[in-house]
Amino acid sequence: MRHASHCFAMNAGGAGAASRDAGHLRRPILIAAVSLLLSILFIPSPRAAETPPREVRVMAYNVHNYFIEGEARGPGVTAKSLTSKNSLVAVVVKADPDILVLEEMGGAFAFADFRRTLAAAGVDLTHWEIMTGVDPNRHLAMLLRFKPTKVEKRDDMSFGIRPSDKTLPLEYIPVQRGFLHVVVSINTYELHIVAAHLKSKMPHPRFNQADLRRYEARELRRVASGILAENPSANLVVLGDLNDDYNAEPLRVLRGFEQPSVEKLYDLRLADDKGQVWTHWWASGDIYGRIDYTLCSKGLLPEVVFAKSTVLRTQPEWTDASDHCPLLLTIRARDAAPLDEKTLTAGFPEGVRRDE
């Protein structure tokens, strides 16, 4: 018995030692498992950190007198035909923008009609703004998928100009259609959109039409300069129907050709899939020209996805929809490092994107 007891004691002691050894082995494994679990729960994985930023599609479109019966006023101002309206909506549906900037939109009733038609076609742009200037018929408007964080309707801008009859005194007149400045935030990315529609080349009864457009461009440049003065790295796009050639004075004023790069606006010179850049067809003169623009700040340039930015020639609808082709700008909504001066100078001589 004594021997058996001794053997039992020996076995029990060995088992205890083995148990203690196993315990010592399990503790590091348990600690490692808990650490791994905590890392999964509280530390972002590399895959999550590498999630690509959202691409935002901004479309600018002169919708060519979107008027409805009973609202438009003035000689030669008629309601847009049903065929033209349907074609216009088809162009927008195919483009599927996140932000839609409109020029030559009619009044409140016409804009409501357009929104209803878009919604019926499945376009989900639930936030909207319309700009009312002194032009009683043609307005700037915007529809957005994102709720704006700021809306600024610049209907307070005017300039001094002498009539064509130079014997008459200087007069102060307002910018015809004002400027619409909207800010949106996509996650932590902030985008400034300034919509504009400058004076056309149609003659004015009292003033030189080129002077009117040049002075309106100066006021638009003030809006852009104010945004960049507040934040030189702002992601800013100025876009719309500017009604002039890229090398004309209004566009040179807007680009800020003689300004430091941080204050300039860069003409993206978007092209269609054949490399053509024209945006407007003047039917009576059979003239094609580029009068619609996307001008971007230095801060926004590195986020522009040029491969997905274009002049849209939506077939077969575009000729019925408008005398303009829309511009589509795609932006990668995450701040990137700014382009260096050498790249800017080579890629944007005189502030205009060169052909690739």
Spatial strand order of the sheet with 265-267 comes to 150-154, 179-186, 189-197, 236-241, 292-297, 265-267
Interhelix angle 82-95/108-120, nearest 10 degrees: 60
Q: What is the mean pLDDT of residues 29-34?
A: 53
Please tell me the distance from the alpha carbon of residue 218 to that of residue 232, in angstroms, as a whole number: 19
Please tell me the distance from the alpha carbon of residue 22 to that of residue 14, in angstroms, as a whole number: 12
Please report which residue ranges of the chain form alpha helices under DSSP H. Answer: 2-42, 46-49, 82-95, 108-120, 209-230, 249-255, 318-321, 341-347
Q: What is the mean pLDDT of residues 152-175?
A: 94
Low-confidence winner among 43-52, 58-67, 121-130, 254-263 (lowest mean pLDDT): 43-52
Q: How confident is the model at residue 17 (pLDDT cuts 50, 70, 90)?
A: very low
The structure's pTM equals 0.85
Please tell me the distance from the alpha carbon of residue 244 to that of residue 12, in angstroms, as a whole number: 98
Spatial strand order of the sheet with 310-311 comes to 127-131, 139-144, 99-105, 55-66, 327-332, 310-311
| pLDDT reported for residue 5 | 44
**Which pair of tokens denotes residue 158?**
């005017």
Please tell me the distance from the alpha carbon of residue 206 to that of residue 45, in angstroms, as a whole number: 66
Position 321 pLDDT exceeds 80: yes
Please tell me the distance from the alpha carbon of residue 217 to that of residue 211, in angstroms, as a whole number: 10
Q: How confident is the model at residue 199 (pLDDT cuts 50, 70, 90)?
A: very high
Q: How confident is the model at residue 285 (pLDDT cuts 50, 70, 90)?
A: confident
What residues contact 152, with CB distance under 8 A and at least 6 apart?
180, 181, 182
Look-up of token digits 């300034």: 194
| pLDDT reported for residue 258 | 82
Position 200 pLDDT exceeds 50: yes
pLDDT in tens, 325-335: 999 999 999 99
Is residue 89 within 8 A of residue 117, CB to CB? The reply is yes
Low-confidence winner among 29-43, 129-143, 156-170, 239-253 (lowest mean pLDDT): 29-43
Please tell me the distance from the alpha carbon of residue 163 to that of residue 159, in angstroms, as a whole number: 13
Mean pLDDT across the chain: 88
Greater model confidence, 93 or 49:
93
Low-confidence winner among 1-10, 155-164, 168-177, 221-230 (lowest mean pLDDT): 1-10
| pLDDT reported for residue 36 | 53
Taking the mean position of all CA atoms in its chain, how far away is CA 52? 19
| pLDDT reported for residue 6 | 46
**Which pair of tokens denotes residue 144?**
């957005």
CB atoms within 10 A of CB 234: 19
| pLDDT reported for residue 123 | 95
Is residue 107 within 8 A of residue 79, CB to CB? The reply is no
Position 39 pLDDT exceeds 60: no
Greater model confidence, 50 or 313:
313
Position 7 pLDDT exceeds 50: no
Q: How confident is the model at residue 355 (pLDDT cuts 50, 70, 90)?
A: confident
| pLDDT reported for residue 47 | 42
Greater model confidence, 203 or 114:
114
| pLDDT reported for residue 45 | 46
Output the DSSP codes for 127-177. Answer: EEEEE--S-SS-EEEEEESS--SEEEEE---EEEE--SSTTSPPEEEE-SS
**Tally of helices (H runs) and strands (E runs) in the chain:** 8, 16
